[in-house]
Amino acid sequence: MINKRFNLIIVTITFGVFMTFFLFTQGLGSMLRAITALHPSWLLLAVGILFLSWMFEMLALYTIINSKHRIEQVLLRSFKFQMIGQFFGAISPFSAGSHPAQLYAMTKNGIPAGEAGSILMIKFMIHQIVNIVILIISFLCMFRYFNEKVHYFSYLCGIGFTVHLAVLMVTILFSTHQQLSKRLLTIVMKGLQRTRLVKNADAVLRNMELELAHFHENASFLSKRIKMCLLASLFTFLQYAAYFSIPYCIYRSFGLHAADLWTLINAQIFLFNFMAVIPLPGAAGGAEGGFYFIYSLFFASNSILPALFVWRALSYYVSIAVSSLFTLVLPNANKSR
């Protein structure tokens, strides 16, 4: 388990850099005036939508857990697992800490490690499929609009789309062609052993083949639980829809209304998928830069930085602050009887 003190230090340093940037570029007085002038009703709606996105993600996890394993207070614990994953995902590169943290939390709450890993793998597969479908729809509907207005937009989106498509194709390959996957893994591991990047390729390969077997079992499980898949996919879609709507609420809080909800949702979809390839916790730097370039289309030059501040504070730092509470009470979790 990742050390909690170290994670809190990372969060503190990141937040310090974040605050320093805005105070030096915008000025404290100017920033405060811009924020206090915002419409509170739209900001409250943004907070409510953020909470709603957490609820939908929890319901997706609850749906999968309930079909795989029975534990007491499953709905409440599903929310706790989701928030723990939210915290560790936010403070780790590529959100890599999310699944290990959730796995640890599940085992501490009485779910066997094998079952917990299976649940998280199914959740990952559903999230990846829903995400790529949403991205494809956005490409078909809004790519030309943003590509004509944002410099280097095609390159940024191309990188994000390529990574997500590659992950989806690997997921499909591993879930439908187990023998082919084994052969590919063997070739890769032997190549790594020859270049001395891996010392004991056979041992690593055995572990990977075991994980591949679990992966294939999960794919077979999904094909037999169509109703569960559709329900979890619906909750995942609603989670994304809520999260992607937050910038629109921020936009309206500035008293702006020229851009419509659909356009701003698509802007966030493109930004979200680009952020996923930034190898830093919370896509630090890339998230802020991407927001500035894309949303400068909709915000005036004197409001884009305050808008960026509010969006980043709400969508990232507020999430860390709230989800950190669940990591602090994690050791007190009781195992199911």
In tens digits, what is the pLDDT along the chain, a chain of 337 residues?
445 566 567 667 767 777 777 777 767 777 778 888 899 999 999 999 999 999 999 999 999 998 877 777 889 899 999 999 998 888 887 787 788 889 888 888 888 877 787 788 889 888 988 998 999 999 999 999 999 998 888 888 888 888 877 877 777 776 666 676 667 667 766 665 666 555 666 676 666 666 666 666 666 666 678 899 999 999 999 999 999 999 999 999 999 999 999 999 999 999 998 888 887 777 877 888 889 989 999 999 889 989 999 999 999 989 988 988 887 655 444 444 3
Sign of the alpha-carbon dihedral angle for 126, 127, 132, 133 = positive
120 located within any domain: yes
pLDDT number for residue 307? 93
126 located within any domain: yes
pLDDT number for residue 30? 75
Q: What is the Cα–Cα distance from 28 to 33, expressed in whole angstroms? A: 9
pLDDT number for residue 209? 66
167 CB-contact burial (10 Å; exposed 0-12 / middle 13-18 / buried 19+)? middle
Both tokens of 176, joined, read 């439908």
pLDDT number for residue 249? 97
pLDDT number for residue 268? 96
Contact, 122 vs 171, CB < 8 A?
Answer: no
Domain span including residue 173: 51-306+316-332
pLDDT number for residue 335? 43
> Nearest-CA neighbor of 297 among 250, 263, 262?
263
Both tokens of 24, joined, read 């030096």
3-class DSSP state for residue 1?
coil
Q: Give, as one character, the DSSP assignment of residue 280.
A: S
Helix locations, the chain, DSSP H:
4-25, 28-36, 40-68, 74-90, 98-108, 113-149, 153-176, 178-194, 201-224, 226-253, 261-275, 286-295, 304-312, 318-328
pLDDT number for residue 176? 67
User: How many independent structural domains does the chain possess?
Assistant: 1
pLDDT number for residue 182? 67
25 located within any domain: no
Q: What is the Cα–Cα distance from 97 to 89, expressed in whole angstroms? A: 5
101 located within any domain: yes
Q: What angle do CA 217, 69, 84 make, to 5 degrees?
A: 95
Q: Phi, psi (5° rounding) for residue 46?
A: -60, -45
Contact, 117 vs 103, CB < 8 A?
Answer: yes
Q: What angle do CA 144, 147, 149 make, to 5 degrees?
A: 110
